[in-house]
Amino acid sequence: MTRVNNNNAQETEDLQQHLQRIIYLLSKQKLVEGFVQMQDIKNLKLDESPVHKQNLTELQSLLDKLHPADIAYILEALPLEDRLMIWDLVKAERDGEILLETSDAVRETLIATMNSGELVAATGQLDADEIADLAPDLPRYVLDDLFQTLPIEEREQLRSAMSYPEDAVGALMDFDMVTIRENVTLEVVLRYLRRLEDLPDHTDQLFVVDRDEKLKGVLPVNRLLVSDPDAKVASVMSTKMVKLYPDDKAQQATHAFERYNLVSAPAVDINNKLLGRVTVNAVMDFIREESESEALNLAGLREEEDLFAPVWKSVKNRWIWLAINLVTAFVASRVIGVFEGSIEKLVALAALMPIIASIGGNSGNQTITMIVRALALEQLNVSNARKLFAKEIGVSVVNGLVCGGVVGLFAFLIYNSISLSLVMTLAMALTFLLAAILGVLIPLTLHKLGRDPATGSNVMITAVIDSGGFFIFLGLATILLL
């Protein structure tokens, strides 16, 4: 890290205020209870410059007591200046663990301040699967250096972990599994475990393998504890188990963990050779990331944004979406343009047309949300799609007629014209029908084409229903009223 920021009193006062607020939030969550007290922060008095240095030391020892995830949380909640100052205070040997816990955007700002040596030192302490998680954010030459420093076995693991795409089971895998043989007694297993200083986190089962590392079964720790120590592993182990394959979609692993309430699961290759394991915390992280990136995608944010990102970075992050929207808005505008003559004759059309487009678009979005969910759960298939289609058409007809009736009444009350009101009703109903048909077809088509229906569907339906709704309404009005 290259910079320590301790220029003026105002800024450090700000920092203290920020920190107090954050530690307050952490302590309100009652999670860090016993680790850090509000009072510790209050006593720091970072704003009195004579004792500034000493206070920094106190702040440092306070940070040392915090869990890496909590430090990551603090770093994310601080503006860039303060963030880098805290980052400087963190002990170098904890850098790796903390980088693992931060969001991608914040990690980038931290890595930017570190030189190659610091990065190699920070990441070198991590497990191979953890390094693989950080790899996309590390400069190429740091990765090369890192490879040199790793023992051969870990080097192989790192290469293997990095070879899987982010959404594959292999990317969730770690290599911290305890393996045993089937022909020993539980007593021997217990003695073997006692020789280990510590068991890896989430060791809820031991993996039973043969000489060739082929997976024969699993021995749940709970069963190890309650069984007769003289029993053989083979007689106690379970051979019916969930096995994951590293090339499979990570989504499948999440389904398995959710359905069968797993804590860990073995990952094997096609020859049943044990390659690694997946734990529930990797799965939970994946679920969280998935749901966040879905929420971001829906709003057209390309990726998670650092809360305090510089303006130009945020602009870049949001721009693609706005550009797409510009195009679709221009198309809708040209559709209206075609009917300018009609609007000139009957200006009420201009005031009424956004109602049709906006409500129609919302209805289409509702259908799409349903279908995307069903596709994600793999509950939708050729044999039940027909039934579903019929249902959505039915819903759209009912909603279209009711909504159409209401907007028709509205148009009549304002403009006192029965024919205009009937055109409103008809246009609304037809737009709902169009929305239902497209709401089913768009995600199903994207899915068939192998694209993720969760990302593109909403933009597409909004675009089509905007233009389509304007066209239906203005077209009907031109034919029937003018």
Q: Shortest distance, CB of residue 327 to a second copy, whole angstroms?
A: 10
Does position 359 bind a second copy by CB under 8 A? yes
Q: Return the closest-CA partner of residue 6 out of 50, 65, 67.
A: 50
Q: Which is nearer to a second copy, 118 or 176 (CB)?
A: 176
Contact residue for a second copy among 121, 162, 193, 437 (CB under 8 A): 193
Binding part of the chain for a second copy, among 1-9, 51-59, 210-218, 350-358 by CB under 8 A, reads 350-358
Does position 10 bind a second copy by CB under 8 A? no
Q: Which is nearer to a second copy, 237 or 309 (CB)?
A: 309
Does position 77 bind a second copy by CB under 8 A? yes
Does position 38 bind a second copy by CB under 8 A? no
Contact residue for a second copy among 116, 213, 321, 437 (CB under 8 A): 321
Binding part of the chain for a second copy, among 32-40, 115-123, 133-141, 440-448 by CB under 8 A, reads 32-40
Does position 73 bind a second copy by CB under 8 A? yes
Contact residue for a second copy among 105, 250, 355, 429 (CB under 8 A): 355
HSE of 119, CA atoms in CB hemisphere, 13 A: 24
Does position 174 bind a second copy by CB under 8 A? no
Contact residue for a second copy among 5, 6, 27, 252 (CB under 8 A): 252
Q: How many chain residues are in contact with a second copy, going by CB under 8 A?
A: 140
Q: Which is nearer to a second copy, 158 or 436 (CB)?
A: 436
Q: Which is nearer to a second copy, 112 or 398 (CB)?
A: 398
In the chain, what's the furthest Cα-to-Cα distance? 95
Does position 158 bind a second copy by CB under 8 A? no
Buried b / exposed e along 40-54 (16+ C-beta atoms within 10 A) = ebeebebbeeeeeee
Does position 150 bind a second copy by CB under 8 A? no
Contact residue for a second copy among 60, 116, 125, 227 (CB under 8 A): 227
Does position 434 bind a second copy by CB under 8 A? no
List binders of a second copy among 11-30 (CB under 8 A): 14, 17-18, 21-22, 25, 29-30
Contact residue for a second copy among 38, 92, 284, 320 (CB under 8 A): 284
Q: Shortest distance, CB of residue 111 to a second copy, whole angstroms?
A: 20
Question: What's the CA angle centered on 98, arms 143 and 93, to 5 degrees?
Answer: 75
Does position 347 bind a second copy by CB under 8 A? yes
- Cα(1)–Cα(9) distance, integer angstroms: 22
Contact residue for a second copy among 365, 425, 431, 478 (CB under 8 A): 365
Residues in Cβ contact with 48 at an 8 Å cutoff, skipping those fewer than 6 apart:
55
Q: Shortest distance, CB of residue 112 to a second copy, whole angstroms?
A: 18
- Cα(263)–Cα(260) distance, integer angstroms: 9
Cβ atoms of 134 and 111 closer than 8 Å: no
Does position 255 bind a second copy by CB under 8 A? yes
Residue 292 Cα distances to 287, 288, 305, 388, angstroms? 9, 6, 11, 28
Cβ atoms of 479 and 428 closer than 8 Å: no
Does position 270 bind a second copy by CB under 8 A? no
Contact residue for a second copy among 325, 417, 445, 455 (CB under 8 A): 325
Contact residue for a second copy among 51, 61, 153, 319 (CB under 8 A): 319
- Cα(73)–Cα(36) distance, integer angstroms: 15
Residue 1 Cα distances to 81, 91, 125, angstroms? 13, 11, 18
Q: Shortest distance, CB of residue 153 to a second copy, whole angstroms?
A: 22
Percent helix, percent strand, percent coil in the chain, to nearest 5: 70, 5, 25
Cβ atoms of 84 and 7 closer than 8 Å: no
The 3-state DSSP class for residue 182 equals coil
Q: What's the sign of the alpha-carbon dihedral 292, 295, 298, 302? A: negative
Other CB atoms within a 10 A radius of the CB of residue 201 amount to: 10
Q: Which is nearer to a second copy, 198 or 211 (CB)?
A: 198
Does position 476 bind a second copy by CB under 8 A? no
Q: What's the sign of the alpha-carbon dihedral 309, 310, 314, 316? A: negative
Contact residue for a second copy among 337, 418, 480, 482 (CB under 8 A): 337
Does position 97 bind a second copy by CB under 8 A? no
The 3-state DSSP class for residue 386 equals helix
Does position 344 bind a second copy by CB under 8 A? yes
Residue 57 Cα distances to 41, 137, 476, angstroms? 12, 30, 75
List binders of a second copy among 376-415 (CB under 8 A): 377-384, 387-388, 391, 394-395, 398-399, 402-403, 406-407, 410, 414
- Cα(209)–Cα(218) distance, integer angstroms: 9
Does position 226 bind a second copy by CB under 8 A? yes
